[in-house]
Amino acid sequence: MPDGYDQPLFRLGWTGKRDTWAFAIWLASKDGYEVSVLPSGSFTGTVEEAMDCACGLYLSDPTAWELPRQRIAPPH
């Protein structure tokens, strides 16, 4: 942010696999992280899935939770 403020969103946990990460979302109400389920229903997923989930929650954009194959490309 321009004023130097940082907003925690989520945390990734190493699972030993490059493309599979544990996911915890930041909860301001707890002032900490909570292990969370991704929109896929899994506790683990890709970095992109975690980012989409966290941004969808914090930006109130449920389309971020749609799987890539469900997304419709914008008209050109």
The answer as to whether 75 is a domain residue is: no
| Nearest alpha-carbon partner for 49 in 59, 58, 61, 37 | 37
Report if residue 73 sits inside a domain: no
In which residue ranges of the chain is pLDDT below 50? none
pLDDT score for 58? 84
Give a yes or no: residue 51 inside a domain. yes
* Position 2 in a domain: no
- Is pTM beyond 0.85? Reply is no
Distance of CA 15 to the CA centre of its chain: 16
For 26-37, the pLDDT digits (tens) are 998 999 999 999
Domain assignment of residue 51, given as a range: 10-65
Asked whether residue 76 is assigned to any structural domain, the reply reads: no
Residue 28 belongs to a domain: yes
What is the pLDDT, as a whole number, of residue 72?
A: 54
Q: How many domains does the chain have?
A: 1
